[in-house]
Amino acid sequence: MKATPPNPPAPLAALVDRTGGVHPAHEIRGVVAMHRLGMGLAAELHAGDVLLLHGDLGAGKTTLTQGIAAGLRVPEAIRSPTFGLVAEYDGMTDGGTPVRLYHLDLYRLDTPAELEGVGFDRYAEPDDGISVIEWPERAGGWLPERYLLVAIDYAGPDVRRVTIQVVGATHQPARATKR
């Protein structure tokens, strides 16, 4: 996606209702708008939240994560941890509370069983942080019971349709279950 003048995302309250359900898709135009959406999401996140980012290659999952990191005041440059699976960053919530950002990219995962070796349970239950997981479908039965599913779909050149679905009660830390 190339940068275009941003369409500001809808207020987060219109995007996420933590009581559950799926909200209407929102059209995001360009990299800048996807980054801003991530910053808006970050303002509403807290320790224990898990975001599952679903979308094709080039959909904007890493760009959204970079926006979340910027919103959490992470000073480092964020890149997809494709070969290492996990990257950890120190950040801070809007309220000034220190929080860890766990960025997982499961694209190169061969089997879900490999998740045990990286301590996936810790990231599915991030008591001290927020987990953002790209390619969650590769985790199989290792996914937590509660999460925010962010689906990013291609809607045209430089246009993405983003839908956020709350699964489970996200006001409590997520809990992983192996199936």
Q: What is the CATH number of the domain that holds 60?
A: 3.40.50.300
Cβ atoms 147, 118 nearer than 8 A: no
Which pLDDT score is estimated for 65? Answer: 96
Supply the pTM of this predicted model. Answer: 0.82
- 74 is a domain residue: yes
Name the residue range of residue 141's domain: 13-167
- 48 is a domain residue: yes
Q: Which of 112, 157, 122, 150 is nearest to 47 (CA)?
A: 122
Give the separation between CA 26 and CA 112, rounded to whole angstroms: 31
pLDDT per position in the chain (179 positions), as tens?
Answer: 443 333 333 444 445 555 555 566 789 999 999 999 999 999 989 899 999 999 999 899 999 999 999 999 999 988 877 677 899 999 998 888 999 999 999 998 888 888 888 888 899 989 999 999 999 998 988 889 999 999 999 999 999 999 998 888 654 444 444 43
- 68 is a domain residue: yes
**Structural domain total, the chain:** 1
Which pLDDT score is estimated for 21? Answer: 55
